[in-house]
């Protein structure tokens, strides 16, 4: 069973792990052009630039915390995941820091630039059918053959705790927020962010944002159960 129970203490611990290797928070910038277009009095919009992190996305936080939290016994045969790019590059980067092997299952047709980035950080690529079932089957085979640890892209406690450090940093840099908008894919980032907001600034309204063509989170909340979206159109 996947462990998804975390609290604010886990996010603080993740932050202490991550900052041993990544000391400088990603910058926060004012989005002046958006403010002008919105034409709302006294509106201030701040953007946390996770694209300027080591691998170009916030995914490095969850991957790094997950890999650093493994015991020597758990990490001895390395790690693996399935990813179309960002989580794979992040896990490869984290595994390189830990000096352990890493295999990334990538769907056919994935971005060549992202595949090159995974390889740049030392990841071994295994291609699979471009379906969720194809990804999961290929990853299961890699784990079975190599004896490595699978690091999910979002639904695992150390990953969510790592992603939550984005909001924790953000509230250090811009404490007087009224709204916090978080993109929603797998849900790891918004889950970690919700824990931070509840602990530090419960008055903030947390808003998840997802594409209309992949609105499985909205539909899941409306129906009171998890509704998968096997073929999102974004």
Confidence of residue 227 (pLDDT cuts 50, 70, 90): confident
Strand order from edge to edge, sheet including 102-107: 124-128, 102-107, 79-82, 149-150
Tell me which of 48, 59, 191, 193 is the catalytic residue: 59
CA distance 185 to 194: 15
CA distance 89 to 54: 10
Q: Is the pLDDT reported for residue 119 higher than 70?
A: yes
pLDDT at 118: 96
Q: Is 84 a catalytic residue?
A: yes
Task: Domain ranges for the chain, please list them.
Answer: 8-56+156-223, 59-150
pLDDT at 232: 59
The CATH class of 8-56+156-223 is alpha beta
The answer to whether the 8-56+156-223 and 59-150 domains have the same CATH topology is yes
Query: DSSP E strands: which ranges in the chain?
Result: 28-30, 46-48, 79-82, 102-107, 124-128, 149-150, 179-183, 205-209
pLDDT at 230: 62
Tell me which of 69, 83, 84, 191 is the catalytic residue: 84
pLDDT at 1: 39
Q: Is 193 a catalytic residue?
A: no
Q: For residue 97, count other CB atoms closer than 10 A to its CB.
A: 16
pLDDT tens-digit readout, 161-183: 999 999 999 999 999 999 999 99
Q: Is the pLDDT reported for residue 200 higher than 70?
A: yes
What integer is the mean pLDDT of 225-233? 69
Note the residue count of the chain: 234
167, with CB counted inside 10 A (0-12, 13-18, 19+), is: buried
CA distances from 180 to 47, 62, 192, 193, 206 (A): 10, 20, 13, 9, 5
Confidence of residue 136 (pLDDT cuts 50, 70, 90): very high
The CATH class of 59-150 is alpha beta
Q: What is the mean pLDDT of the chain?
A: 93
Q: Is the pLDDT reported for residue 20 higher than 90?
A: yes
Dihedral-angle region of residue 109 (phi above 0 means left; psi in -120 to 50 means alpha; beta otherwise): left
The CB-side HSE value for 226 (13 A sphere, CA atoms) comes to 5
Q: Is the pLDDT reported for residue 63 higher than 80?
A: yes
Confidence of residue 195 (pLDDT cuts 50, 70, 90): very high
What integer is the mean pLDDT of 67-78? 97
Q: Is the pLDDT reported for residue 12 higher than 60?
A: yes
Kindly state the helix (H) or strand (E) to which residue 146 belongs, with its residue range: helix 132-146
């Amino acid at each position: 069973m996947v462990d998804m129970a975390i609290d604010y203490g886990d996010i603080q611990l993740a932050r202490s792990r991550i900052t041993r290797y990544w000391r400088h928070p990603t910058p926060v910038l004012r989005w002046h052009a958006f403010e002008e277009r919105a034409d709302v009095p006294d509106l201030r919009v701040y953007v946390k630039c996770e694209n300027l992190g080591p691998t170009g996305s916030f995914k490095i936080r969850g991957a790094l915390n997950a890999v650093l939290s493994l015991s020597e016994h758990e990490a001895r045969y390395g790690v693996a995941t399935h990813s179309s790019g960002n989580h794979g590059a992040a896990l490869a980067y984290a595994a390189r820091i830990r000096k352990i092997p890493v295999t990334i299952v990538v769907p056919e047709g994935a971005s060549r630039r992202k595949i090159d980035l995974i390889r740049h950080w030392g990841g071994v690529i295994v291609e699979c059918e471009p379906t969720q079932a194809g990804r999961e089957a290929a990853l299961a085979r890699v784990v079975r053959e190599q004896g490595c640890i699978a690091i999910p892209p979002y639904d695992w406690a150390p990953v969510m705790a790592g992603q939550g450090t984005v909001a924790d940093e953000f509230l250090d840099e811009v404490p007087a927020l009224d709204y916090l908008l978080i993109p929603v894919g797998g849900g790891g980032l918004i889950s970690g962010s919700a824990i931070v907001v509840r602990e530090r600034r419960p008055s903030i309204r947390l808003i998840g944002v997802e594409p209309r063509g992949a609105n499985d989170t909205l539909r899941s909340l409306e129906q009171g159960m998890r509704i998968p979206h096997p073929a999102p159109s974004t």
